[in-house]
Amino acid sequence: MSEFQEKHTVSRLIGSPPGYVGYGEGGVLTEAIRQKPYSVVLLDEVEKAHPDVLNLFYQAFDKGEMADGEGRLIDCKNIVFFLTSNLGYQVIVEHADDPETMQEALYPVLADFFKPALLARMEVVPYLPLSKATLATIIAGKLARLDNVLRSRFGADVIIEPEVTDEIMSRVTRAENGARMLESVIDGDMLPPLSLLLLQKMAANTAIARIRLSVADGAFTADVEDVLNDESVTEDETVL
């Protein structure tokens, strides 16, 4: 919702009132609800929006309807609204092991931003930090997709050593960032050495027999074996 930080952007959601530019065109939100009355509406990072934008939802959450810029009432009774926010993430991290006290600790943080009347109309659902088991499952899925891409693109055997998963896990040090750090480690640390070797082989028009990803001395390593005169030539690239 960062694009709705200014007060005047309210008209983009519900449409412009009579006499203003854009009158008759409808709002992005109200028109979408009117055309698809059985929908899920996601408002991402609502803390970035102007307070007047949030004021639009009092009526929607209370009576199940919303007035657009032309004064027409839009039926919202069959709409499910999801509002996501980073407010209170530190409280959630600190109370992750004690969910019973989390709601009580989280309420003052939310009340500092949301008006009590609006907060009372919402159900707060905290998202807990990802556990190590969950992160390991996500990593396994990403490495499996990488395996499939390399096999289909180069027709080579792909070996990803188990210690690769452990090294990725060891570099994900901030639980509040969730799985985003996984992307950073994989794309920024693990893949560059492999990509460099593969580009070199493609430039030389060299067939590839085997690709291996591993870890040595706390660094990701990539090995690429060529198919050349029935002999395998191995090259290695390491990233710290």
CA–CA separation, 191 vs 189, rounded Å? 6
213 sits in which H/E element: strand 208-216
Q: What angle is formed at CA 120 by the lines to CA 115 and CA 121, rounded to 5 degrees?
A: 105
Angle at which helix 162-171 crosses helix 132-154, to 10 degrees, equals: 130
CA–CA separation, 235 vs 240, rounded Å? 17
pLDDT value of residue 226: 85
CATH 3.40.50.11720 fits 132-239, yes or no: no
Contact yes or no for 213/222 (Cβ under 8 A): yes
pLDDT digits (tens, 9 = 90+) for 154-184: 888 999 999 999 999 888 876 656 678 888 8
Statement: the pTM of the whole predicted model exceeds 0.85: no
In 65-173, DSSP assigns E strands to 65-67, 73-75, 79-83, 157-160
Q: What residue ranges do the domains of the chain occupy? A: 2-85, 132-239
Percent of the chain residues past pLDDT 90, beyond the cut:
25
pLDDT digits (tens, 9 = 90+) for 230-239: 344 444 455 4
Residue whose C-alpha is closest to residue 68's, from 30, 106, 33: 30
- Would you call 71 helix, strand, or coil by DSSP? coil
pLDDT digits (tens, 9 = 90+) for 117-139: 888 888 888 888 888 888 889 99
Bridge-based pairing of strands 234-239 and 219-226 is antiparallel
